[in-house]
Structure 1
Amino acid sequence: MVRSWVGESAVKHYTKETFNPTESVYFAIDRVRNRLLSQIDTALRGLGVTSRQMGILHLLGRGVADTPFELARRLDMDTSAMTRVLDRLETGGLLIRSRNTDDRRIVNLVLTKKGEEVVARIPEIAPAILSAQVKEFTESELNELRRLLGKFLVA
């Protein structure tokens, strides 16, 4: 028996009879995500970072998270993927990993001077791309899109 992610009482917007992957919400969200990532990756190339790395650097720079576990949780990444991205950032001289002195199981992350410089430049690049993609949206429409996408994250 295949376990359904949709509860019995939930509205079934998709059924096996009517499902068309290329017309699904998933497909549209995936296409939008891919387009944004591609554009942001291209724009960040001069800084030597990717969009995925940008999120990590941003959270570290704002002091929102300082461990791989906390970053992975906030960015919805598995710990293996997080480790690979952190390896690249460390190799690139953007951050330093060190063991917590109180609990050696915990790895602390700190931006290097180079990492701080990259973090400072990100707001010069990413907002222009995101703004271009939503330029046809009214403020109300953009707020509604944020609200609706938020419903995905709590479902």
Structure 2
Amino acid sequence: MATQAPCAELLLDNQLCFALYSTSLLMTKVYKPLLQELGLTYPQYLAMMVLWEGDGVTVGEVSSRLLTDPGSVTPLLKRLEAEGLLTRTRSSVDERVVELFLTNKGLDLRERAKAIPTCILSASEQSIAELSALKNELNVLRASLQKAL
């Protein structure tokens, strides 16, 4: 079998997508033990953060904020409801719309979760300013990629 010279455009370490993917995997691994103490998975944590920002949001709003479709977020929300963290209620205005409300247990969990960002900051070995600049750059990239779809 003949070997070919490496193609710089296709080297794994030259790919932005791999840098993002591998960093995301490692970020999730850092979160895992912190979230296990709360009894949450990473996707559940993201959904709870949406609810902690504003109670009474709809399933559609959660899926929109998480950049996913409502069908994939619904099972996750049902599990959170089964854990007693939220209630799902049909809207009185439009029964097709499901509204989400935190329970006292869900609100209490928010207090316990407040320590997580500090733990992530420490693990990153970056300053708040550095991470903020990186987040802003990623938000710009995400917006551009959304427009490309």
Task: Compute the TM-score of the two structures, normalised by the length of structure 1.
Answer: 0.79
Distance 2:49 2:92 in 1: 25
Residue deviations 1:36-80 (CA, integer Å, cap 9, x gap): 112212111121112211121122122176111001111112222
Distance 1:138 1:87 in 2: 35
Distance 1:115 1:143 in 2: 28
Q: Which residue of 1 aligns with 2:138?
A: 149
Query: Number of aligned pairs?
Result: 138
Structure 1: which amino acid aligns with 2:123?
Q
Residues 100 and 65 of structure 1, relative CA distance in 2, 3 Å threshold: closer
Aligned counterpart for 1:44 among listed residues 23, 35, 40:
35
Q: Which residue of 1 aligns with 2:3?
A: none
Contact residue 30 and residue 120 of structure 2 kept, 8 A: no
Structure 1: which amino acid aligns with 2:125?
K
Structure 2 unaligned spans of 5+: 1-6, 145-149
Select the structure that is richer in helix.
2
Aligned counterpart for 2:62 among listed residues 55, 71, 74:
71
Distance 1:63 1:18 in 2: 44
Residue deviations 1:77-132 (CA, integer Å, cap 9, x gap): 222220121011011111100100111011010011111111221112x2133212
Structure 1 unaligned spans of 5+: 1-15
- Give runs of aligned pairs for residues 15-26 of structure 1, distance below 5 A: 18-26=9-17
RMSD: 2.0
Distance 2:113 2:132 in 1: 23
Q: Which residue of 1 aligns with 2:117?
A: 127
Contact residue 98 and residue 108 of structure 1 kept, 8 A: yes
Distance 1:150 1:47 in 2: 28
Q: Percent identity?
A: 28
Offset at 1:137?
4.4
